[in-house]
Structure 1
Amino acid sequence: MTTLSPSPEQASKAQIKRWRTHLADERAEAAVYRALATKRQGEERDILLALAEAEKRHEHHWLNLLGEHAAAPRRASLNNRLLGFLARHFGSVFVLALAQRAESRSPYATDADATPAMAADEAIHEEVVRGLATRGRNRLSGTFRAAVFGANDGLVSNLSLVMGMAGAGLAPHLVLLAGIAGLLAGALSMGAGEYVSVRSQRELLSASKPTQITLSAAKALDINANELVLVYRARGMTPEEAEHRAAERMGTFSCDCNPSLSLRPETESEKGTDEHETIGTALGAAVSSFCFFASGAIIPVLPYLFGLSGFVAIIVAAVLVGIALLATGAVVGLLSGAPPLARGIRQLLIGFGAAIVTYLLGLLFGTTTA
């Protein structure tokens, strides 16, 4: 049983205010999707425009409820206005991640004046945007992953090193020297490790990728002892599917398999899609790891570079690193569709936890050797 919404004449001021807010938000969300569509092509552009049309249907619902009261709409929420600005000027995967979170916070499921269909639309919109954001995340997952985590490693490891040295009571110039040494050692280690890791992963993919030998060898195979079937069975097909695919490759369709058999789609490797795209290039990952580790590791050293010393230098280093950890944690949160603030705070606590432990160990070491 559905409840009828009040007419504009019967609606209270609070309801009209809420309807105007919904109307403004629907218009803002539609504008976000249209702005994102201008920066996309092909299927992604069509999907974004379809989302904008869906938001327009919701807009008409609130217009009908408001009647003459729609003449003075409210401003959209601050989140939607910010999202619109980012969509117009950037149009990146971060905007899609924010849009995904915005769709997940739709109030229609608990708003008596919104229809069940509208609430269902918003839930589906979240999944659609999640799918589009996932495409962007996959494109970023190689080099960007190395960049973000390289920066975090540099921040945490060098802050811990600097605080440990400072806690032991070393002179400022020795703390600075230790910080620079930690920066270079860590950046080189990260770059080399990332290069080997990604290179090895690409080589494993290349070794596992099917070759095209089946196309050239099929014509010379013995039809009655068709070993091509074994190739497709080894790739995971059922005997029926393998026989059907082998018959197709050899140019015959006289196999005993079910003629109405629907073959599973070709794998990404068989279609020629580059599986390596999702992990990036080895050199790109190595360079980004080196640069971003160094960019993170330099931050705890900055106070000593500018002549600060003692407890003041430690506090300044901790504040700078804390801001950077919050920022990188928020970025990771955005990409993963998680709350940015929560991810930033988690990153901050982990980094400061490691730094405090090394500082205390430095104090202990400095006391016992005094």
Structure 2
Amino acid sequence: MSTADSPAVNAAPGQPPSPEQIKRWRRYLSDEIVEGQIYRDIAARKTGPDREILLGLAEAEKRHENHWRSLLGAHAEHPPRPSLRRVLLRWLARMFGSVFVLALIQRAESDSPYARDKDAPEGMVADEAIHEEVVRGLAARGREQLAGNFRAAVFGANDGLVSNLALVMGIGATSVSNEVVLITGLAGLLAGALSMGAGEFVSVRSQRELLEASAPTQVTLDAASHLDLDQNELELVYRARGMDQAEAHHRAQERLGYFTCDCNPSYSARPDGSQGPVDYSEEHAEIGNAWGAAASSFCFFASGAIIPVLPFLLGATGFTALLWSLGLVSLALLGTGGVVGLLSGASPLKRALRQLLIGLGAAGVTYVLGLIFDVSVA
């Protein structure tokens, strides 16, 4: 039975719904209309299975819409404006249709009011729970594609914001001139950006080299014809790749030509012990390109680190410049924290506030230290 045919829990059988129920149902109707349109807008930018999945979600929202229309009857005419949150989602879907929108929709689906409303059928409550998992899966694909260089970009910008703000606040709390604060901030920007870029390059390159070192080679094919059949060490190769003894023995016999198979050199044991092609390029793609990650880290660290210095570059001086730095960095930290929370499926507000508190805490500590170790420059 579809949700549109499911019975609702009214005040009493045969009695008209209360004004409060009508108001609530009309709001539900309005939101369902918008949610269906959001899925259709995103689907218009997709192809293949993703498009079909999104259109399937839109069809489910249409069933929910029809359910509320059937309950409302004549009251379904001219539904109210949807919530501001869903209006924003619809605009973002039409403009971008990206992983950011899917992550926001995931949050919206997880916060469905139907679970707390007796007028919503159990089937509809279950639908919304399933919708969250479907959108979570769609958003996860986009998150994986952003896992490499995007990770370096976001954390590079955040590190630049926090470290250079702390440096500027610490130096600014002393009696040095504005020129010294400015030069120190620019030096911190350059040193930090170079350090981040070099560190990211080494990290990503090392990860890729470790993967490549662990990937199977074709040496087994070259050496197979010369192996001692009574001391078949080829089995040990497959045992080391996760196969049990029987599987390893069978695979070794295949390699030696005792069985015919449609296997090829790219086949090996997967990490879970099953057999099949292992695509190491996918693992490399998730890690990212070493040069791309290094460039992202350098540029985004610099873009974050320049913000605390901007007031001094624009002519602000003294405590006023420090307040401007603090305010600009606070806004930027809220932004980067919100983005990280959004992409991780967590609360953007909580992640944004966490980033802000970390940044302000670091700046506060260095400012106090600057006051304690105040020095004068002749």
TM-score by length of 1: 0.90
Match for residue 305 of structure 2? 297
Give the Å deviation of 1:243. 3.9
CA contact (8 A) 1:244 1:253 kept: no
**1:277 and 2:285 aligned:** yes
CA distance in 2, matches of 1:36, 1:218: 52
Higher mean C-alpha deviation, range 360-369 or range 26-35: 360-369
Structure 1, unaligned runs of 5 or more: 255-262
Give the Å deviation of 1:37. 1.3
Written as runs of structure 1 = structure 2, the 5 A alignment for 1:240-279 is 240-246=246-252, 250=257, 252=259, 265-266=274-275, 270-271=278-279, 273-279=281-287
What are the superposed Cα offsets for residues 329-353 of structure 1, whole Å, 9 maximum, x if unpaired?
1111101111111111111111111
**1:139 and 2:156 aligned:** no
Give the Å deviation of 1:227. 4.4
CA contact (8 A) 1:329 1:346 kept: yes
Q: Secondary structure at the match of 2:374?
A: helix
**1:77 and 2:77 aligned:** no
For residue 5 of structure 1, what is the amino acid of its counterpart? V
Match for residue 210 of structure 2? 204
Match for residue 5 of structure 1? 9
CA distance in 2, matches of 1:286, 1:206: 20
**1:348 and 2:352 aligned:** no
Higher mean C-alpha deviation, range 282-291 or range 9-18: 9-18
What are the superposed Cα offsets for residues 21-59 of structure 1, whole Å, 9 maximum, x if unpaired?
111111211111111112222222222111112212212
Higher mean C-alpha deviation, range 105-114 or range 231-240: 231-240
What are the superposed Cα offsets for residues 249-280 of structure 1, whole Å, 9 maximum, x if unpaired?
547279xxxxxxxx96546x625653101011
**1:104 and 2:110 aligned:** yes
CA distance in 1, matches of 2:281, 2:66: 43
| Same amino acid, percent of matched pairs | 62
What are the superposed Cα offsets for residues 298-348 of structure 1, whole Å, 9 maximum, x if unpaired?
111111111211111110110011111111111111011111111111111
CA contact (8 A) 2:242 2:273 kept: no
Candidates 341, 366, 373, aligned match of 1:358: 366
Match for residue 316 of structure 2? 308
For residue 288 of structure 2, what is the amino acid of its counterpart? G
CA contact (8 A) 1:23 1:62 kept: yes
What are the superposed Cα offsets for residues 48-99 of structure 1, whole Å, 9 maximum, x if unpaired?
1111122122122112212222222222211111101101110111101100
Written as runs of structure 1 = structure 2, the 5 A alignment for 1:13-28 is 13-28=19-34
What are the superposed Cα offsets for residues 82-117 of structure 1, whole Å, 9 maximum, x if unpaired?
101101110111101100000000011121111111
Q: Secondary structure at the match of 2:175?
A: coil
CA contact (8 A) 1:210 1:270 kept: no
Give the Å deviation of 1:214. 4.8
Aligned residue pairs total: 360
Candidates 131, 156, 159, aligned match of 1:150: 156
After superposition, the CA RMSD in angstroms is 2.5
CA distance in 2, matches of 1:248, 1:116: 54
Match for residue 3 of structure 2? none
Q: Secondary structure at the match of 1:337?
A: coil
Q: Secondary structure at the match of 2:28?
A: helix
Give the Å deviation of 1:238. 2.2
CA contact (8 A) 2:39 2:57 kept: yes
Give the Å deviation of 1:170. 0.5
For residue 252 of structure 1, what is the amino acid of its counterpart? F
